[in-house]
Amino acid sequence: MTTIEKRKLMDKDAPNRSTGIVNGTSSNILNWDDVRFSWAYPKYKRMLGNFWTPFEINMGSDVKQFSSLNEPERQAFLKIIGLLALLDSIQTDFAGKVADYLTDSSLNALMIILAQQEVIHNHSYSYVLSSLVSKDEQDRVFDYWRTETVLEKRNEFIMKGYEEFSDNPNVDSLLKAIVYDVILEGLFFYSGFAFFYHLARHQKMVGTSTMINYINRDEQIHVDLFVKIYQELLSEYPEYDTQERAREVESIFKEAAMLETEWAHEVIGNQIDGLDVEDVEEYIYFYANVRCAQLGYERPFPEYRKNPLKWIKAYEDVDLGKTDFFEQKS
């Protein structure tokens, strides 16, 4: 097992461009024109271009509409926000931990921006809840991760993968933690996203859904960034690129998809008018396939090749900039 060491704060004898993605030497000076990976700067520009804050979003009509949602919609709304709040909180800290071990200063910079975006995501949940519900209710939502059994199971699943790396940082545990990361940022948010886009499609809670779209857009870049790091790690440590790993990744994704569909049944079930939980289930399998393929592996659910929620595409992919896409869309 190749142990990995934290990046030095300064190294006078090392070049600015790191000699390795981990365990490399680097002065730790950040010069964007002298970095190890050519994709880092374009990624940096995209991440900055996406910058947004919750203050931009007017919650006025959501405040009026929230009380007109039916009970299952309201419950799903709050539970999903509670779930996202936990995932984004963990993610802020995890990104910082990974950053410590990447020996290229540009990758460290990208991780810091990623972590900052997670802070903004978390802020958006407080912003939404403080606009819509009482402080007591808000506190309750932020505690769902302690009280909801289905959630607890899912969270423990991710934590296991993350803690293995933070307790024992080596190439293998970092690779594995990245797989869990791709699940967190690229799969575990997705039944939540589907629910909010479903509301937006029916012109409900458009402010919140706009925020969710911004978060979705950030998460796509985050997944992409971690996938890049994964691939660079494997190319610098090809001895870790084994059949055994491919099988392990497949089985981790299968378990993740099972946990996510279980959650979808709990939170969406048959209670949400117009959103079929079977479709959401297929949507989860479809995304598990997409993420595995991004990491360079076979699809774990080969029979689910098409996105069953076709209409979602318009919501996921839209590059909102500062337009009011959600308002115009019906």
Exposed, middle or buried by CB within 10 Å (0-12, 13-18, 19+), for 67? exposed
Q: Which positions are annotated as active-site residues?
A: 125
Q: Which residue lies nearer to Zn ion by CB, 148 or 219?
A: 219
State the minimum distance, in angstroms, from the CB of residue 218 to Zn ion: 6
State the minimum distance, in angstroms, from the CB of residue 59 to Zn ion: 19
Span near Zn ion by CB under 5 A; candidates 51-59, 60-68, 88-96, 101-109: 88-96
Residue 17 sits in the site that holds Zn ion (CB under 5 A):
no
Could you say which residues in the range 159-188 bind Zn ion, by CB under 5 A? 185
CB atoms within 10 A of CB 311: 11
State the minimum distance, in angstroms, from the CB of residue 270 to Zn ion: 29
Spell out the residues 6+ positions from residue 49 whose beta carbon is closer than 8 angstroms to its own. none
* Count of residues engaged in binding Zn ion, rule: CB under 5 A: 6
Q: Which residue lies nearer to Zn ion by CB, 225 or 249?
A: 225
Q: Which residue lies nearer to Zn ion by CB, 116 or 168?
A: 116
**170 beta partners:** 3
Residue 317 CA to residue 311 CA, distance in Å, equals 11
At 170, phi and psi to the nearest 5? -145, 175
- Residue whose entry in the numeric block shows the structure tokens 């931009």: 56
**3 beta partners:** 170
Q: Which residue lies nearer to Zn ion by CB, 224 or 248?
A: 224
Q: Which residue lies nearer to Zn ion by CB, 26 or 122?
A: 122
Span near Zn ion by CB under 5 A; candidates 37-45, 204-212, 216-224, 229-237: 216-224
- Select the residue interacting with Zn ion from 201, 204, 222, 291 (CB under 5 A): 222
Q: Which residue lies nearer to Zn ion by CB, 177 or 277?
A: 177
Span near Zn ion by CB under 5 A; candidates 42-50, 52-60, 147-155, 213-221: 213-221
- Select the residue interacting with Zn ion from 4, 17, 57, 88 (CB under 5 A): 88
Kindly provide the b/e burial profile for residues 190-199, where b requires at least 16 CB atoms within 10 angstroms of the residue's own CB. Answer: bbbbbbbbbb
State the minimum distance, in angstroms, from the CB of residue 230 to Zn ion: 15
State the minimum distance, in angstroms, from the CB of residue 29 to Zn ion: 27
State the minimum distance, in angstroms, from the CB of residue 222 to Zn ion: 4
CA distances from 244 to 63, 198, 230, 241, 247 (A): 51, 39, 16, 8, 5
Kindly provide the b/e burial profile for residues 2-39, where b requires at least 16 CB atoms within 10 angstroms of the residue's own CB. Answer: eebeebeeeeeebebbbebbbbbebbbeeeeeebbbee
Spell out the residues 6+ positions from residue 127 whose beta carbon is closer than 8 angstroms to its own. 54, 55, 57, 59, 211
Kindly provide the b/e burial profile for residues 167-176, where b requires at least 16 CB atoms within 10 angstroms of the residue's own CB. Answer: eebbbbbbbb
23 in the Ramachandran plot: left (φ > 0), alpha (ψ -120 to 50) or beta?
left
> Contact letters (x/-) for Zn ion, 95-134, by CB under 5 A?
-----------------------x--x-------------
Could you say which residues in the range 237-296 bind Zn ion, by CB under 5 A? none
Residues that bind Zn ion (CB under 5 A): 88, 118, 121, 185, 219, 222
